[in-house]
Amino acid sequence: MNNRKLVLENGMVFEGEGFGSFKEKLAEIVFNTSVIGYQEILSDPSYCGQIVCMTYPLIGNYGLADDDYESKNIYMSGFVVHEYNDLPSNFRFTRTLGEVMEEAGACGISGVDTREIVRLIRDNGSMKALICDIDKPYEECMEMIKNYEYPKNQVQTVSTKKVWYSRTPNPKNTVVCVDCGVKLNIIRKLNQAGCNVVVVPYNTTKEEILRYKPDGLFLSNGPGDPENVTPVIHLIKEMKGVVPILGICLGHQMIGLAYGAKTYKMKFGHRGGNHPVKNLDTDKVEITSQNHSFAIDIKSLEGTGLRLTHINLLDNEAEGMMDDKNGVIAVQYHPESAAGPEDSEYIFNRFMDLMKKGGDFNAKKNRY
């Protein structure tokens, strides 16, 4: 029986069956084209304050496994799916998708035409949406949507509130991770590369970071508009040239802003595991995993000291930048591949090489 509905900002209504939490959720609706990885998507802090419509028609069929979460909390507002399966077939699963969503207060709706919803978002752009009970008056729904304003404190919401550590045997380097909503597989990749990782809140100062005597600084992915994350933008300006820096997704955008480039909000963003990206240094094409609403304006890179290293072959959007002089690497996509292809894992090796060189930067004498 249909007991829930999805109301879009453009006035369209889709009736379906609820799963997960049965609270009301009002948020921005976006779509993701991944075939697998709904657990990683659900637990990715970058989806804070968003409702995600999945293009793959069957969701929930392999349950959730304890080792596959990308964060310790669920920040997503809701899932919109064509068919929800509550009887998983997977020897690794420990809980169902609906159970975890109910605990986290995330709403789900199934039995709707996700193809039509995705086309609406593709053609008109991401928009506000409400998941609620089917008998809620339409006029009341539209009034709620009209009065809703997108939050500007998502990074503050998802960032760690205290320092924590992820250590590895026989470490080669110490990396400080500025947590703007970091995915755990990024931490795992840094550990596998031989790095002890110190995860700090997004508003940690340069002086506090240097107390850990880092060999490198990592700027994580995260939700929202990069222009709102002013503490990290200021930190980048202070830290460039002191130690090598790697930024992924939101980190990529914040590096661009710190160098004087500009960002803009995309029509519907990039979310999926099959985005073709060309490496301009090698002329090779990599298939990448992506999740972002904002992007760097390529024209604004001129004169910033950053050179373009990667572009998206679908829309020529900036996918990678580098400051060779100061050892700064920035990529818009997700080289940690959770879930997604592993074509771009070499980015972590490139970061390791920069840390191995150590102090070939102008500010070596002021490092610690």
Residue 6 Cα distances to 53, 94, 100, 135, 317, angstroms: 11, 29, 21, 12, 31
| DSSP labels, 158-226 | HS-SS-EEE--SS-SEEEEEEESS--HHHHHHHHHTTEEEEEEETT--HHHHHTT--SEEEE---SS-G
Told to judge if 180 belongs to the known catalytic residues of this protein, a careful annotator would answer no
Told to judge if 334 belongs to the known catalytic residues of this protein, a careful annotator would answer yes
Q: Of the residues 107, 180, 249, 317, which is catalytic? A: 249
Query: Contact at 8 Å (CB) between 206 and 228?
Result: no
Told to judge if 249 belongs to the known catalytic residues of this protein, a careful annotator would answer yes
The CA distance from 205 to 266, in Å, is 30
Amino acid identity of residue 341, one-letter, is: P
Helix (H, G, I), strand (E, B) or coil at 365: helix
Cis peptide bond prior to 338, omega within 30° of 0: no
Query: Contact at 8 Å (CB) between 31 and 121?
Result: yes
Residues noted as catalytic = 249, 334, 336
